[in-house]
Amino acid sequence: MNLTSAVLPTPSALEPVEIGVGPMTPAEFLDVTRGRRAVVIAADALAEMTITRNVIDALAGDTVPHYGISTGFGALATKHISVDRRAALQTSLIRSHAAGSGPAVEIEVVRGLMLLRLSTLCTGRTGIRPATAQAYAGMLNAGITPVVPEYGSLGCSGDLAPLAAAALALIGEGTVNDASGAEVAALAALTAAGLTPVVLAEKEGLALINGTDGMLGMLLMALADINELLDVADISAAMSVEALLGTDRVFASALHALRPQLGQGISAARMAAALAGSPIVASHAGPEDTRVQDAYSLRCTPAVHGTARDTAAHAALIADRELASAIDNPVVLPDGSVQSNGNFHGAPLAAVLDFLAISVADVANIAERRTDRMLDANRSHGLPPFLAYEVGVDSGHMIAQYTQAGIVAELKRLAVPASVDSIPSSAMQEDHVSLGWHAGRKLRRAVDGLRRVLAVEILTAARALDFRAPLAPGPVTGAVHDLVRTVVDGPGPDRHLGPEIDAVVGLLDSHAVTSTVQPLLPG
């Protein structure tokens, strides 16, 4: 999904995703956030919410103060609130915590944090009223997406400001995007959809804002994008190996069995399969080829790509655990007790978001090195300088590599961890925070950068393969070459290169590259 996507897709024709006490799957999450599939609250969730709401209602009438029910919040937790002021307390909590600033984040991110908050509400551990959860689901199904500013979350006590912006729309305040993407007043959007603003009861304000949902949503989306881009990276690397007259022998399974790193083995097998049957590779595979070994950017590609695959696998494990979590404070335990906790701290998510940003930068870095080799006549084994059509007159892809290099430099900065930082807040009550929201925001930018770097490599490798004619690429790399030629012409005098790069970015964004090669690769 493009980072700047602003308009919801057409509603999905699939059956609604049932949100129950247990976790949804990552695929269901993506269907709702990116595919606009509807949701419905399951019977088990409605029953569990009813049980725990009865607990909250009983505590609301207790003379003993209970945090989040009859007290203030954060550093004001010792302040008892009288019964007649508790509705105002919940509304004030939402209004005051919706203190974000900056440009609006993407619609899919907001839908993601709303969906994950709904999933936690449906565990029955938050004390929310079933009707309030139903109203939240109604906003999702109507395509009403609150405008959530970029800045405001510290990733501890959850994503307070972003979730508060979403809750503000639920009570009929603030600004939203309707299903067409138009920015309108929340009350007008709710009215047009036949929805009624919610008047929050005790505990409900906290239940709506105390979660890691923004962080987790961005992680799930990034994992979907990164896993696909790693498949693309294996193919783009194979195209570059072919264009640079590299050998495929280093990708043999027997070599990688000596180092049983799972991701490395997967990438090596994919590259070997992508180069199988290549006339270009066969043309220099005999004893007449005097080169001992290829450069690291070709030979070591499976190690780099594989490390990213293993990182993504670990991040997916953390994401699955968080999907199965009920994040709120306080929570209603199965025994009916209401307990404070620290489960809202975003450390588990922040760490893997940062870890992924490191791997994204590394994969982009090695791709840029392969591109640079194809443009250097001293290292490209016979290709024209910069792949220029008329050397001396044309610059070919010289500046496309500059674009890659600029993005890679940015990715290295984005790889600096947010999770090692912290800044105290709430009068030192919240004296250590995860900054997981920040880790998620920079990872989204990094994923977009990787997509563009790989697009330049594919565009450049396709041009280099044209210069290898009459030798032909293999079936897999050739299919990608032919796909590129459906949106970008072959070698010729210099043209406006920017739109050609964007055209290949579009192929990646639409999943065209992976769908083209998938039927051609074993397994």
- With vertex at residue 106, the alpha carbon angle to CA 95 and CA 498, rounded to the nearest 5 degrees, is 150
| Residue 136 is among the residues annotated as catalytic for this protein | no
Contact between 307 and 355 under an 8 Å Cβ cutoff? The reply is no
Contacts of 361 (CB under 8 A, 6+ apart): 408, 411, 412, 414, 415, 446
- Whether the ω angle into residue 330 lies within 30 degrees of 0, i.e. cis, is yes
Distance CA 286, CA 318 (A): 47
Contact between 218 and 225 under an 8 Å Cβ cutoff? The reply is no
Contact between 146 and 197 under an 8 Å Cβ cutoff? The reply is no
Backbone conformation region of residue 376, classed left if phi is above 0, alpha if psi is from -120 to 50, else beta: beta
Q: How many angstroms from the chain centroid is the CA of residue 229?
A: 12
Distance CA 34, CA 32 (A): 6
Alpha helix segments (H runs only) across 416-496: 436-467, 475-484
Distance CA 364, CA 360 (A): 6
Alpha helix segments (H runs only) across 213-300: 213-243, 253-257, 262-275, 279-283, 296-299
Strand segments (E) across 297-432: 331-332, 338-339
Long-range pairs of 376-381 with CB within 8 A, sequence gap ≥ 24: 379/244, 379/295, 380/243, 380/244, 380/464, 381/244, 381/245
Catalytic residues: 67
